[in-house]
Amino acid sequence: MSSQQIPAGLAAAAQRFGRYLEAERGRSAHTVRAYLSDVRSLLEHAAFEGVEDPAGLELGTLRRWLGSQSEAGMSRATLARRSATARAFTAWAVREELIQTDPALRLKAPKREKSLPGVLHQQQVLRLVEGAESAAAEGGPMPLRNRAMVELLYATGIRVGELAGLDVDDLDPDRRTLRVLGKGNKERTVPYGLPAALAVDDWLRRGRPALATGSSGPALFLGVRGRRVDQRQVRSVVHDLLAALGDTAATGPHALRHSAATHLLDGGADLRAVQEILGHSSLATTQIYTHVSVERLRQSYQQAHPRA
């Protein structure tokens, strides 16, 4: 189906929904754009069927929309996400009295494919940080920054967006803890170890002053022009370091988050403590890492036990 002009009634509802997500739910601009992209796809389909305003949305419309997405080759994970977005939109519309009865209450979507996150072995992480250290030893502010970012990502398991949003005063060097603003503007405190502390201190002493300008503000990590580093730059740095390993399919910062969580559990950390460190709202989200750890334990058992 070609792009469809959305009627004014539907377009206005989408705009109000976006403002609600940002102002009342505290969603980031990136998350709001993702929600609205899905909502626009739904509303374009609804307009194609002749729907003029939210009150005209029906369960059949939602099902046919998801069906068209499936026929277009969307993955089950994408369909599940779009179904969740539709339910969030129609539930909001009911609360705003734009719809009398929620048409998405009986909407079902394919379950997400269950997949375990990619995890680096501890020796791979060691080689990764050694690569960053070697580059930093050659001098220049950027390698110092890159080393500090990688050490901190692995030490804390924070998300790439959380790293990019850090300010200098979010660090507590004496206690080696970090104040992080996570999803939904929820604040948490995360510890980090000595290697990360040394790398960050080196960046603050020798790297950041060389890049800082009047527009740098309090940002902990800076780009080449002195502005706050963005997520794309962080991903590029980690991607290049992972590619240099040559023996992993992992491609971005989330691999360091996955690895940090798994290595904590492998080392005996409590599941709820790992949940707090990662900033997961649900323990079920953290539990996927126990599957990774159990699988690694099973492999070790089969390799080592004489009667395995």
What's the CATH superfamily of 122-304? Intergrase catalytic core (1.10.443.10)
Whether residue 280 lies in the annotated active site: yes
What is the pTM for the complete model shown?
0.62
47, 28, 82, 46: CA torsion to nearest 10: -10
Is residue 3 predicted with pLDDT exceeding 60? no
Catalytic residue among 35, 154, 192, 289: 289
Q: Give residue-wise pLDDT tens across range 244-289.
A: 888 887 788 888 998 998 899 888 888 888 898 998 888 887 777 7
Catalytic residue among 45, 159, 228, 263: 159
Catalytic residue among 183, 188, 239, 296: 183
Give Cβ neighbours of residue 37 (< 8 Å, ≥ 6 apart).
none
- The domain locations on the chain are 8-95, 122-304
Whether residue 289 lies in the annotated active site: yes
Q: Give residue-wise pLDDT tens across range 116-164.
A: 556 888 899 999 999 999 988 888 999 999 999 999 999 999 999 999 9
Integer CA distances (angstroms), 95 to 26, 42, 78, 102, 161, in order:
18, 19, 26, 10, 31
Q: Give residue-wise pLDDT tens across range 11-60.
A: 999 999 999 998 888 888 888 898 999 999 999 999 999 999 999 999 99
